[in-house]
Structure 1
């Protein structure tokens, strides 16, 4: 196991049907093959790479929506996993692997982190959303989590600063992807492109060399649509070698969790209650 498992606390509560109905159209706008936010500003194209080769990711809008998670304060050597911004009504959600984080206490996120610098600032993680399947039995087929982040020191929501990469669902098991991640002993983002294959009914895998511990939670971005169709996690917490990575398959299970996270992250703190995540796997 090359990636550390951290137990994730349960987050459960009933959804208010009326408010969920009002939020649903906005929430669903972030799910699909592509949204306007998947397109790089100013017409900047995604990088073109030699397949199955790992390089330092150049700074670009898509890459800068990915960042490192830090614990115990921001600084070199303190990051432990990778996450990325996904669309939400408030603009305050990240996607990562569920095994990455067990408590939001002392955890911050730095999008576009590079060489000890946080070019866009940092955002505190304030809440974690995981499925019942992960909470109760650490189901590797549900190794994904949404993180709610608070506003930065200037009062800005993270999506308003860097944008968001949309979530893709039910994508073909065989797909070209760009794989991002921050190794825990490095201070630059890694990038590799290759074609995914099916590993099991609810997981996919990819060969990309030299993705060590710390890259867990890194997004798999479909080269055709710009949508996130996986995160490093799943089997053996993402893989038992640094050269092959795994991801849970994104289907209705993550859709339900995503809607739940968007709803609860849209409720003002004074009226928030613990949320109840989806309990039915892969339906």
Structure 2
């Protein structure tokens, strides 16, 4: 999402070079290139960060409520504004609800359907540039029963890995009904790790056991899909914390997704979620009655000139490699 309380340092120079960013002006990150390779990972070591030994205990209800939503604010890109001037538009197919769907389409509303998604989805908290910040994440099926998927910028941004990283599944208004799970390791795709390429804005965390139990034994897990194509019925979930939302509850959007025709190879979905929702899951084949589906993207960004739309990276081979690395860690 582009509605951010944090401006990465790598963006400031570009903004200065292009002048003041006016209301309604497009802000988008030009894709960078990076050599392929295995995902880079770091261990969330409190001895290195100087934080309290018990990271989970550090994240009190007060600190979680006070955490600021973390999202991207990339610089203006002339290529995209040129395309807009030539009349390029997002092509949205007619909306057809999947069989048995009631919360479809939806541009942003509290999720009241319960089911598995209410326990696998959660808020992510961490320290970024000395600040307490938040994103969203989701527990997925994995060999280690401890894997959380999120956005790349929710584990690393502006060239630095976040610290004090925890996942709080089923979060509600400062409460952690299923516990606070500390990351033993955070990872991202090689493209995001090397150059923060928005096309590969996918991250993962492997969390430590809590009270002798593994994460997905406690909250359940969602399936994952890779290389499954575009133009699908999608459900997106997250914990937006920027106005008009406050991060206290799980919000969802749904509708027929399309492929971004402007700048990236991402999925596009009609959705008004704001900062803090980054890293929340996108599901295809989602069953409202059970709250289960196949995760095939995460909330990543939005264009300021195009309110009401959100974008998520395509889960291709690099996302799959990241998932495999995480689930076997």
Could you state the TM-score of these two structures normalised by the residue count of structure 1?
0.71
The alpha-carbon distance between structure 1 residues 139 and 101, as it changes in their structure 2 partners (threshold 3 A), is same
- Equivalent-residue separation in structure 2 for 1:71 and 1:134 (angstroms): 18
Superposition deviation, residue 178 in structure 1:
1.2
- 2:193 is the counterpart of 1:138: no
Question: Does the C-alpha gap of structure 1 residues 61 and 6 become closer, same or farther in structure 2, counting only changes over 3 Å?
Answer: farther
Cα deviations by residue, 1:226-260 (Å, 9 ceiling, x for unpaired): 10011011xxx444366211011111111111112
Which residue does the alignment assign to 1:230? 297
| 2: CA distance, partners of 1:216 / 1:227 | 18
Which whole-Å CA distance do the structure 2 matches of 1:47 and 1:162 have between them? Answer: 24
Q: Flag structure 1 segments of 5+ consecutive residues without an equivalent.
A: 13-44, 73-77, 266-283
Q: 1:228 to 1:171 in 2, by over 3 A?
A: same
Which residue does 1:165 correspond to in 2?
222
Show the counterpart of 1:11: 41
Instruction: Name the counterpart of 1:66.
Output: 121
Aligned to 1:52: 106
Cα contact 2:107–2:308 (8 A) shared by 1: no
Distance 1:46 1:220 in 2: 19
Structure 2 match to 1:243:
308
Q: How does 1:258-269 map to 2 (within 5 A)?
A: 258-263=323-328, 265=329
Structure 1 residue runs of 4 or more that deviate by more than 3 Å after TM superposition: 3-7, 237-242
Out of 164, 168, 176, the position equivalent to 1:110 is 168
Alignment deviations for residues 139-194 of structure 1 (CA, whole Å, 9 cap, x no partner): 11110011111111x12111101111111112231111111010123210101211
TM-superposed CA distance for 1:119, in Å, is 1.4
Pick closer, same or farther for the CA change 1:231–1:250 going to 2, 3 Å: same
Task: Tell me if structure 1 keeps the 8 A contact 2:254–2:269.
Answer: no
Give the aligned length. 222
When residues 47 and 79 of structure 1 are mapped into structure 2, their CA distance, relative to the original with a 3 A threshold, is: farther
Instruction: Indicate conservation of the 8 Å contact 1:176/1:195, yes or no.
Output: yes
Closer, same or farther in 2 for the Cα pair 1:181/1:10, shift >3 Å?
same
Determine if the alignment matches structure 1 residue 96 to structure 2 residue 146.
no
RMSD of aligned C-alpha atoms? 2.7
SS state at 1:94 partner: strand
SS at match of 1:109: strand
Contact conserved, 1:110 with 1:118, CA < 8 A, in 2? Answer: yes
Whole-Å separation in 2 of the counterparts to 1:187 and 1:10:
32
Normalised to the residue count of structure 2, the TM-score between the two structures is 0.62
Q: Which residue of 1 aligns with 2:207?
A: 149
Q: Does the CA contact (< 8 Å) of 1:104 and 1:125 recur in 2?
A: no
Could you tell me whether the CA contact under 8 Å between 2:235 and 2:286 is conserved in 1?
Answer: no
After superposition, the C-alpha distances for 1:67-95 in whole angstroms (9 at most, x for unaligned) are 001236xxxxx661000001111201100
Deviation at 1:11, TM superposition (A): 2.8
Give the whole-Å Cα distance in 2 for the aligned partners of 1:180 and 1:145. 16
Q: 1:146 to 1:11 in 2, by over 3 A?
A: same
Query: 1:34 is matched with which residue?
Result: none
Aligned partner of 1:2 in structure 2 is 3
Q: Secondary structure at the match of 1:169?
A: coil
SS in 1 for 2:223: coil
Distance in 2 (alpha carbons) for counterparts of 1:10 and 1:130: 6
CA distance 1:87–1:50, shift in 2 (3 Å)? closer
Question: 1:171 aligns to what SS in structure 2?
Answer: coil
Question: Separation in 1 of the partners of 2:120 and 2:191?
Answer: 28
Contact 2:139 2:222 in 1 (8 A): yes
Say if 1:224 and 1:62 are closer, same or farther in 2 by CA, change over 3 A.
closer
State the SS of the aligned residue for 1:82.
strand
Q: Does 1:213 pair with 2:275?
A: yes
**Larger Rg belongs to:** 2
